[in-house]
Structure 1
Amino acid sequence: MKKLFTMMCLTVIATIGIYSTANAQDYRNAIGGRFGTANGVTFKTTLGGNKMLDLIANFRSNDGYSYFRVTGLYEIYNPIQGADGLNWYYGLGGSVGSRKWKYNDTNKAYISVDGVLGLDYKFAEAPLNLSLDWKPAIELAPGTEFDSSGLGLSIRFTF
């Protein structure tokens, strides 16, 4: 299942990359992969000005459980002076999904409030965007806990 999901994501990314056009200093939309403590697909779109919406669908597995979740983040971008194409950003959003425990095979709804803090770079001469961020989350269901392990690198094609 994970291999099929990964192959589908790579196919979509490659197709969009082939047909997208580059914008020299900025981008309106971007799609690609997010890799780190959780792997998945990310899509960013502008909301106007310095604000963007980032939608992430990812999965994660560790010794005790695995989950699939969809995250929406409202992000505010600020340029870093003297570094063209480089911005720092912060934002807030939430996640919904499901968590499955490996040992007792139970599956429960997952809900969290998420934050994000990161760096975003758009290559001037290529339809490519890189983001490195930290995405902590406060889990509201099935339990209540703070997850500070949300580091990720996103590689996206811009259009």
Structure 2
Amino acid sequence: MKKVLLPILTLFTFLFVINREANAQTPYRTALGLGIDLGDGQTLFGPQIKHSFGRNDAVNAQVLFGDNITVVGVDYSYNERIRGTRGLSWYVGVGPQASFIDYGKWHGDWDDDYHWKDGNTHTHFAIRPALGLEFRIPSAPLAMHFDWKPWWNLSHGSNFEASRFSLGFKFVLK
């Protein structure tokens, strides 16, 4: 995993340094779409909205769903266009997240002997940094992103999951 992350981090650091003078205005103001959170563990899907304000600043909010889990998160990101491209930008951000996990009303072992378990729900709080690329199709109101978005759980046995990623497809409203 470290062999994969080091080149990615190096690439993003390089892009950050060479593009400081780039035109930083975000390619759209507001977009709605589908967010997909994947990596180690289960894949989560759900709606998201991204709203840009100022020259480089944006907020992305999402509600993601999976098997017995609902995740609500809001991220701030610094966005900058990549000079010499049409519609391609990079971003770096961070935000809080709350996960509502129902460990299962059904609990069983390998012999399918299931037992009713009630009240086994936990709320987890996390911080999610993000480093990614976003592409707005210049001739259409569509945008997509891909980022590295590790999961740093701060509650119920704090842990850091580095191998999480986010993929999103958005319809640009304005």
Choose the corresponding residue for 1:52, options 55, 58, 63: 58
The unaligned stretches of length 5 or more in structure 2 are 1-25, 39-43, 108-116
C-alpha RMSD of the superposition: 1.6
**Aligned partners of 1:69 and 1:110 also within 8 Å:** no
Matches within 5 A, 1:58-137: 58-61=64-67, 66-102=68-104, 103=107, 106-137=120-151
Choose the corresponding residue for 1:146, options 160, 170, 174: 160
Deviating above 4 A after TM superposition, structure 1's stretches of 4 or more consecutive aligned residues are none
Residue identity matched to 1:124: P
Q: Distance in 2 between matches of 1:146 and 1:114?
A: 10
Residue identity matched to 1:114: R
Q: Distance in 1 between matches of 2:156 and 2:53?
A: 32
3-state SS of the aligned residue for 2:154? strand
**So what's the TM-score if we normalise by structure 2?**
0.70
Aligned residues: 131
Matches within 5 A, 1:32-51: 32-37=33-38, 38-51=44-57
- The offset of 1:26, in angstroms, is 2.0
What is the aligned partner in structure 2 of residue 29 from structure 1? 30
The structure richer in strand per residue is 1
The unaligned stretches of length 5 or more in structure 1 are 1-24
Worse overlay, 144-153 or 118-127: 144-153
**So what's the TM-score if we normalise by structure 1?**
0.76
Q: Percent identity?
A: 27
Per-residue CA deviations over 1:27-69 (Å, capped at 9, x if unaligned) read 10000001242211110001211110000110233xxxx3211
